[in-house]
Structure 1
Amino acid sequence: MKDSLGDRIMVTFIYAFLIVLSITTLYPFLNALAVSFNQGLDTSKGGVTLWPRSFTLENYEIVFKDKRMMSGFTISVLRTVVGTVTSILSTAIFAYGMSKRELMGRKYYMVMCIITMYFGGGLIPSFMLIRNLGLMNSFWVFIIPGMVGVWNMIIFRTFFSGLPAGLEESAKIDGCGNWGTLFRIVFPLSGPVIATLSLFTAVAHWNEWFLAGIYISDESKYPIQTILRQLLLSNIVSETASEMNSAALAAMQRAKTVTSKSLSMATMMVATLPIICVYPFVQKYFVKGVLVGSLKE
């Protein structure tokens, strides 16, 4: 059956729109990548768009020689790995309990959880709570407050509720308790939803910068995103030259080939590319994982 003229026009319009949307989305990233590989002085003249006009690795050389950058990168990696594992594990365990209809007060607990999605205590009460818990200037301030996500719990709970009851009954007949059923039966069947929510949680941990500015006083414990924000708001060359203490940096400054913008773009690429590289490995789980955990109640 041939498509009508109207169908062909509509398909052409859709593809054209998607192409324009893709270009609009990709251009800022490609421009930042080009600037990061271009000499700073040449960039300041303008005209650098999608390809470096004066190619150089000096910007990345400075970034990787800066101890503060590498420390922030390490903190971000540790935070993302530890935060994702603990959050998914604790949220899934909580959701598994909430999926049991025989749980006393189940509806009350659910209402209390949903209220926290819409209403928060505010910054000052949160600051006082973190201080009283002894988490100030600690790595665990990035992990513990976000260990359980209500939205993720709802998706997990809905997915667990949709699993055949016979699976758990068979496991109990074979001698499995609740923990054995969860880790040997439920978790292996929950691959798509675990992969999807793990990615969302990892991206949130990697991109978050606000907590460090509030609860961390030691800059050596800043994640890479907080450091990047500082660099974007300040003149990196003048403020960090003493910290880098690099002869190569001094030579580059004398040659005036490095600018605040070029270094900021290089830092942005270092902070962005690692999490982007994770997407292709879990992309196939997106639709299946989210829909399976959200369509059936």
Structure 2
Amino acid sequence: MFLTSRRTKGEFVFDLLNNILMVLICFATLYPIWYVLINSFNDGKDAMLGGIYWWPRIFSIENYKAVFNNAGILTAMWLTVAKTLVGVFAHVFFTAMVAYAFSRRDLIGGKLYILLGTITMIFSGGLIPTYLLIRDLHLLDNFLVYIIPVLFSFFDLIIFMTFFRDIPDGLEEAGRIDGANDWTIFLKIVLPVSMPVLATIALFHGVYQWNDYFTGIIYINNESLQPIQTFLYRVVAQSSSNIMTTALQGNAVTKSVTSQSVKLATMVVTTLPIVFAYPFLQRYFVKGMMIGSIKG
């Protein structure tokens, strides 16, 4: 009885410490997001005084009016949505198509291709050669610069390939008996039973496309082709520049709006869509990671 009681007490203390630690980690993770959110809904001039930690002191939506009244921000937002949707569809389909070929055990030179692909995961040509390649492909100031360079990922191919190899061979054999060719098998048999891995890779690439700001900085000079994250980067990096002035021009509410408050509102606007989408795909995300780590 003594040993059982002592063990139970130790487990209680262990669970208590674990819970306290998890609460602290959650607080440290979530509070910065909450801080940005409440300050974005506070009067800009009042927020400059500080002291806002838990709730807006003077509630205001003028910061969001300044954001959505700026045509440049709206253009950047629509461009980001478009490149995310197009990029995810193109990347998932192309990578899945190549992975299906790699998953065939009778593929000639398959091991060599795997070796070459693994090397590309470790080494890259560098920024300057990549820029020269993009220039020679006439992708500078081109919407396709967001799509073509990231059309394929060998890391995602490994996840796809591992999943495809677990599909029963009987499905493919049944398709061939019915006269199906490789395209028909891939499109009508393999893809429909691969929804978990498709959703996982879509989440991977969707988050990348939505958060990517570097491509717009390096390869895009046309402001109408810059995504929202590049716009946000310029707002944060040049808060007193013409970008913030443009965001506030034509507004009758600028008395209660500051460059800092508009930056916070812009951060919230650009972050919320991917935050809302993630919980619906989280289970696929975890399953995809398990596929790539344990079985791969």
Q: In structure 1, how many angstroms separate the alpha carbons of the residues matched to 2:197 and 2:19?
A: 30
Matches within 5 A, 1:214-253: 214-235=218-239, 239-242=243-246, 245-246=249-250, 249=251, 251-253=252-254
State the Cα distance separating 1:243 from its structure 2 match.
Answer: 6.6
1:266 aligns with 265
Q: Choose which of 27, 33, 39 in structure 2 pairs with 1:29.
A: 33
Q: In structure 2, how many angstroms separate the alpha carbons of the residues matched to 1:193 and 1:282?
A: 11
2:209 aligns with 205
Q: Choose which of 160, 173, 177 in structure 1 pairs with 2:177.
A: 173
Q: Could you tell me which amino acid in structure 2 is paired with residue 223 of structure 1?
A: P
State the Cα distance separating 1:289 from its structure 2 match.
Answer: 3.0
Q: Could you tell me which amino acid in structure 1 is paired with residue 270 of structure 2?
A: A
**CA spacing shift, 1:90–1:295, aligned 2, 3 Å:** same
State the Cα distance separating 1:252 from its structure 2 match.
Answer: 3.0
Contact 1:159-1:294 within 8 A present in 2 as well:
no
Taking structure 2 as the reference length, what is the TM-score of the superposition? 0.94
1:283 aligns with 282
Q: Could you tell me which amino acid in structure 1 is paired with residue 279 of structure 2?
A: P
**CA spacing shift, 1:176–1:236, aligned 2, 3 Å:** farther
State the Cα distance separating 1:234 from its structure 2 match.
Answer: 1.6
SS at match of 1:277: helix
Q: In structure 1, how many angstroms separate the alpha carbons of the residues matched to 2:173 and 2:18?
A: 49
Q: In structure 1, how many angstroms separate the alpha carbons of the residues matched to 2:22 and 2:244?
A: 42
More displaced stretch, 6-15 vs 221-230: 6-15
| 1:120 matched to 2:131 | no
Q: Could you tell me which amino acid in structure 1 is paired with residue 166 of structure 2?
A: G
Matches within 5 A, 1:62-77: 62-77=66-81
Q: In structure 2, how many angstroms separate the alpha carbons of the residues matched to 1:74 and 1:239?
A: 18
Contact 1:37-1:59 within 8 A present in 2 as well:
yes
Q: Deviation string for 1:42-66 (max 9, x for gaps)?
A: 1110011131111001000010010
Q: Percent identity?
A: 41
State the Cα distance separating 1:241 from its structure 2 match.
Answer: 3.3
Q: In structure 1, how many angstroms separate the alpha carbons of the residues matched to 2:259 and 2:126?
A: 35
Q: In structure 2, how many angstroms separate the alpha carbons of the residues matched to 1:277 and 1:170?
A: 40
Structure 1, unmatched stretches of 5+, are none
Q: Deviation string for 1:237-267 (max 9, x for gaps)?
A: 7544357641xx2x433x3x21111100000
2:60 aligns with 56
Q: Deviation string for 1:82-116 (max 9, x for gaps)?
A: 00110010000010000111111101111111111
1:5 aligns with 9
Q: Deviation string for 1:16-42 (max 9, x for gaps)?
A: 111111111000100000111001111
Q: In structure 1, how many angstroms separate the alpha carbons of the residues matched to 2:180 and 2:267?
A: 49
Q: Could you tell me which amino acid in structure 2 is paired with residue 121 of structure 1?
A: G
Taking structure 1 as the reference length, what is the TM-score of the superposition? 0.94
User: Would you say how many aligned residue pairs link Structure 1 and Structure 2?
Assistant: 292
Q: In structure 2, how many angstroms separate the alpha carbons of the residues matched to 1:243 and 1:64?
A: 9
More displaced stretch, 169-178 vs 124-133: 169-178
Contact 1:76-1:224 within 8 A present in 2 as well:
yes
1:129 aligns with 133
1:146 aligns with 150
Q: In structure 2, how many angstroms separate the alpha carbons of the residues matched to 1:238 and 1:172?
A: 63
Q: In structure 1, how many angstroms separate the alpha carbons of the residues matched to 2:249 and 2:44?
A: 20
SS at match of 2:203: helix
State the Cα distance separating 1:284 from its structure 2 match.
Answer: 2.4
SS at match of 1:190: helix
Structure 2, unmatched stretches of 5+, are none
Q: Choose which of 73, 80, 86 in structure 2 pairs with 1:82.
A: 86
Q: In structure 2, how many angstroms separate the alpha carbons of the residues matched to 1:264 and 1:113?
A: 41
